[in-house]
Amino acid sequence: MFRKTSAQSSLFDLHLLIPDLFPKDDWCYIYRDKIYPLIDEDTFRHLFSDVDGAPNKSVKIFVSLLIFMGMEKLGWREVPVMLHRRIDWQIAVCVGPGEFRFEFTTLFKFYQRLEKDDTAYDFFQELVNTFTELCGTSVKKQRTDTFFIHGWLKILSRYGLLKETIRVFLQNLRKQKVGLYDQIKGELSREYLEKDFDLTEKDKDKAHRQIKKMARDIYRLKTAFENHKNVQHYQSFKTLVTVFEQQCEVVESTENKPEILIREKPLGDHIICTPHNTDAQYTRKGDQKITGHKGLVSETCDTNNKTQFITDVNVVDATKADADELPESQKRREDAGLKPEHELTDAAFNNGQTILDAQDMGIGLHGPTAGRSQSPDTFTDPQRPLDAADFKIDLDAESRELTVKSCPKGDRPTDQEYREKAGHQLAHFDQEKCAGCELKDRCPTKVQKRTATLTLTAEDVVGARQHRRFMTDPQYRQDYKPRAGAEATVSEMTRAHGMRKSRHRRQDRTKLQMIFAAIACNVKRFIRHGQNHGFECPEIA
């Protein structure tokens, strides 16, 4: 049952008993006076029943404790102990020594309630709006970056994935239907529930042979239980079937037995890489191998700001492209009243489509674009490949209609047309001139037997022009320099607030961890701003 925290001060409040226990600008007093009142418990009311159950513990205190967890990288069991030991914590949340007792499981259950909707994220955005107002921070210029969040799961090879998937299902089957387990285990190629269970095999030839045997074992399990009224609904069985369909292929043979082939590349977009967490994605970036998720963080970066604040965070699949997530992040900030006028991002976010989408929202997206040389020295190489920016093209800002005026050599196209179905512009040039042109090996125009055709879109032109500006305009690169601060924010989130590694299996809980880590980061910056510069308003209304 929902119950608001009493406004009555504690008789044993250390702030009253020992007023000068800490310096007046200590973080606990700033948190108590400026941040604690911002926690509106009514926004959390819908998470509880109004009539049934025991009254809930103080929402204000629990939200504060989740913030403290993010500030100091604490585990669930450590929080109750720290509250009883830390005087500054007690002052910050307005309780006396020993007055607020709870089990860590109660705090975790409150955390689980926050998974249901966007209440925590809405609270984060409300804090950002208040912090930026009190600190005089402008949100007109922002920067965005992403980083990988490692799961706590082992990175499995195909050998390990098949073996562990079978083991997890058989373990569940033995627990639920021991009779069925006893019947099927004799048909399998090995004992999968043995104590000494190794998920690796160093001998590659032996591993390939074992993979084929395990694929046949998964097929036996699939055919044996796919029509069973109970087993077919087990989550471990659904995972087993999905892994088989992604990794293996059934081919009809001349014999009665179908042949099981191992796919060269797994089938599908969302590939399961561990049976313990089907949301976790495997990806590689250089030499870095990740099984987990990707975190996105945006923050203010106006050089006139005394303090920068994080304005948006999210957790997505590790395989999701940065350019696909950026428009969603911009929409969230627009809805929260935190939309920037200029956004600095790296090449992973920038392409012609994201630049035009940002323009439609009134945002100027700045930085190099993907798919091109990222070095000014390489870009000025006279032998570099040409692109749409090397052609003279008129682009209508509203309709985005293209008109190709001339090629890099100054030749005009013989004709051009827009293919509405394909969504691109075709410009035809004289075939003989293009075939004998000295730039033909570097030019994007395709020279065929009868025609020479340039195919391009408005996105191609916009992306190429922005990249050229970045590579050739020193002042533009100078204005772009604040984006480098996003790397420092990522480092702060991962090192100081524990976001390099997720505490959870599920993506929604990892997102919640990310939200409270961002709140904790902003709270620390807000407190530091008050200690160094004070606030623009003496009290929060």
Q: What is the pLDDT of residues 90-110, one digit of tens each?
A: 999 989 888 888 999 999 999
Q: Please name the amino acid found at residue 210.
A: Q
Spatial CB neighbours of 211, under 8 Å, sequence gap ≥ 6: 158, 159, 162, 262
Statement: residue 17 has pLDDT above 80: no
Tell me the average pLDDT across 359-365: 95
pLDDT averaged over every residue in the chain: 90
On whether both 208 and 317 belong to a single domain, the answer is no
On whether both 373 and 454 belong to a single domain, the answer is yes
So what's the pLDDT on residue 199?
67
267 in any annotated domain: no
Pairing of strands 141-150, 342-344: parallel
Statement: residue 397 has pLDDT above 90: no
DSSP string, 421-466: TTTEEEEEE-HHHHHT-TTTTT-SPEE-SS-EEEEE-HHHHHHHHH
122 in any annotated domain: yes
**Of 41-50, 189-198, 524-533, the least confident:** 189-198
Statement: residue 361 has pLDDT above 90: yes
288 in any annotated domain: no
On whether both 364 and 477 belong to a single domain, the answer is yes
**Of 230-234, 264-268, 319-323, 533-537, the least confident:** 533-537
On whether both 361 and 438 belong to a single domain, the answer is yes
On whether both 102 and 192 belong to a single domain, the answer is no
| Whole-angstrom distance, CA of residue 433 vs CA of residue 451 | 10
Q: Name the residue range of residue 223's domain.
A: 158-262
State phi, psi for 20 to the nearest 5 degrees.
-105, 30
Out of 213, 239, 262, pick the residue that ends a domain.
Answer: 262
Inter-axis angle of helices 104-113 and 59-72, nearest 10? 100
On whether both 375 and 488 belong to a single domain, the answer is yes
279 in any annotated domain: no
Statement: residue 16 has pLDDT above 80: no
95 in any annotated domain: yes
Out of 247, 262, 277, pick the residue that ends a domain.
Answer: 262
On whether both 138 and 215 belong to a single domain, the answer is no
So what's the pLDDT on residue 197?
62
146-155: pLDDT as tens digits = 999 988 777 7
274 in any annotated domain: no
So what's the pLDDT on residue 541?
36
Statement: residue 510 has pLDDT above 50: yes
Out of 208, 240, 262, pick the residue that ends a domain.
Answer: 262
37-53: pLDDT as tens digits = 999 999 999 999 877 77
Statement: residue 427 has pLDDT above 60: yes
On whether both 147 and 87 belong to a single domain, the answer is no
- At 26, is the pLDDT very low, low, confident or very high (cuts 50, 70, 90)? very high
Statement: residue 482 has pLDDT above 50: yes
- Beta strands (DSSP E) in 360-519 are 364-366, 392-395, 402-406, 415-419, 424-429, 446-447, 452-456
**Of 78-87, 114-123, 251-260, 397-406, the least confident:** 251-260
Tell me the average pLDDT across 521-526: 97
Closest CA to 147 of 301, 293, 346: 293
On whether both 340 and 385 belong to a single domain, the answer is yes
168 in any annotated domain: yes
On whether both 104 and 123 belong to a single domain, the answer is no
On whether both 448 and 305 belong to a single domain, the answer is yes
Residue with tokens 């293009």: 434
On whether both 74 and 125 belong to a single domain, the answer is no
Tell me the average pLDDT across 31-39: 94
Of residues 473 and 283, more confidently modeled: 473
- At 446, is the pLDDT very low, low, confident or very high (cuts 50, 70, 90)? very high
Statement: residue 220 has pLDDT above 70: yes
Count of the separate structural domains present in the chain = 3
285 in any annotated domain: no
- At 254, is the pLDDT very low, low, confident or very high (cuts 50, 70, 90)? low
Helices (H), 73-154: 78-85, 87-92, 104-113, 119-135
- Beta strands (DSSP E) in 153-309 are 248-251, 259-262, 281-285, 288-300
Q: What's the Cα-to-Cα distance from 375 to each of 41, 307, 379, 481, rounded to whole Å? A: 52, 31, 6, 15
